Amino acid sequence: MPETCLSVGLAQISPAWLDRNATIDKIVRWIEKAAQDDCGLVVFGEALVPGYPFWVERTDGARFESKIQKSLYAHYLTQAVSIDDGDLDKICAVARKKSIAVYLGIGERATDRGGHSVYCSMVYINRQGIIGSVHRKLMPTHEERLVWAIGDGHGLRTHKLGSFTVGGLNCWENWLPLARASLYAQGEDLHVAIWPGNVRNTEEITRFIARESRSFVVSVCGLMRRSDIGDELPHADLLLETADDVMANGGSCVAAPNGDWLLAPQANEESLYVVELDHRRVLEERHSLDVAGHYSRPDVTRLIVNRKRQTTVEFIDEKVSQSPTDPVTR
């Protein structure tokens, strides 16, 4: 394979829904499969660990002080990913062992925000198994706001991967022009969009972003069916009764920098789709349009991005030095 090329694996899979550890074990197996297929990058769908909150719109999720909603949220919180507690260590280890980069969607239990709220986060892990960025979704969509907190700009970052500069966004924030522009300005030429699933979400915007940015765009979706709901879950009978046969049918796809399909949206199949990307295609298409370069006017319009991680409290502790003659306080 030429040095300018990169093989990307699109892992369109279902989670072991609302079971963090079982889902992580499944992801590890799919990373190993992608490595066997010589992928340099493998991508998974939005909030795959521990799973997208499909119950909210189907079980009267906006009812205040609902015992059912409290119970489901409490379970979701216990299954969310705490990066500080090492929940992603297995995934980092296999990425390092197989020398493969990973983009993964998680429900993040953020200890820097108290540890009791969930953020829809997109995690980048490099080929050395090191977490390069954690992007918390800027604005959860519609009913998602009942379970996910609002994120910040800290994770609006790109990463070098071979000849490419890769960045990404969660689901509907891919529609935010300024969020996209913040990545374009950092040299992004491989854009990763992750989704919970459904062809209707990816069939138009994937090609649109490719033509706007003159970049490769990889959209990766999850799957979710009634059969993926386990009997052991809280209120399993209600979840099964209100679920559709198919709640997420996939839709993973890849567009070239001119908007042509390299992989048209794929539905209803759990599979690893492997697509080879050649960076020279980016250079060719940037000849006529480079939105952050020769076709920009920073003297007229500019974007300011706040990438500070937002917290509710900042502790400023006095550093006390103790001399050998000072009394010891116990």
Confidence grade of residue 324 (pLDDT, cut at 50, 70, 90): low
Phi, psi of 281 (to 5 degrees): -65, -35
In this prediction, residue 325 carries a pLDDT of 54
The model's pLDDT over 197-236, given as tens digits with 9 standing for 90+, comes to 999 999 999 999 999 999 999 999 999 999 999 999 999 9
The model's pLDDT over 88-131, given as tens digits with 9 standing for 90+, comes to 999 999 999 999 999 999 999 999 999 999 999 999 999 999 99
The model's pLDDT over 19-63, given as tens digits with 9 standing for 90+, comes to 999 999 999 999 999 999 999 999 999 999 999 999 999 999 999
State the number of CA atoms in the 13 A half-sphere of 204 facing the CB.
4
The label of the residue with tokens 């090329």 reads 5
In this prediction, residue 284 carries a pLDDT of 98
Distance of CA 215 to the CA centre of its chain: 19
In order, the DSSP letters of 201-267 are: HHTTHHHHHHHHHTSEEEEEE-EEEGGGS-TTSTTHHHHHHH--SEEEEEEEEEE-TTS-EEEEEEE
Is pLDDT above 70 for 330?
no
CATH 3.60.110.10 fits 5-285, yes or no: yes
Long-range interactions of 307-313: CB distance < 8 A, separation 24+: 307/153, 307/154, 307/156, 307/157, 308/152, 308/153, 308/154, 309/112, 309/152, 309/154, 310/152, 310/154, 311/112, 311/113, 312/113, 312/114
Which residues in the chain belong to E strands, given as ranges?
A: 5-12, 41-43, 101-109, 118-125, 131-136, 159-161, 164-170, 190-195, 216-221, 223-225, 246-255, 261-267, 271-278
Is pLDDT above 60 for 320?
yes
The answer to whether the Cα torsion of 248, 94, 148, 159 is positive or negative is negative
Closest Cα to residue 145, out of 115, 127, 120?
120
> What is the rounded distance in angstroms from the CA atom of residue 274 to the CA atom of residue 263?
9
Omega prior to 50 cis, within 30 of 0: yes
Rounded alpha-carbon distances, angstroms, from residue 41 to 99, 235, 241 = 9, 37, 38
In this prediction, residue 44 carries a pLDDT of 98
Spatial contact of 107 and 56, defined as CB atoms under 8 Å apart: no
Confidence grade of residue 2 (pLDDT, cut at 50, 70, 90): confident
Name the token pair of 30: 């799919």
Is pLDDT above 80 for 322?
no
Confidence grade of residue 305 (pLDDT, cut at 50, 70, 90): very high
Domain ranges of the chain: 5-285
> What is the rounded distance in angstroms from the CA atom of residue 265 to the CA atom of residue 254?
8
Is pLDDT above 50 for 328?
no
Average pLDDT over residues 175-183: 98
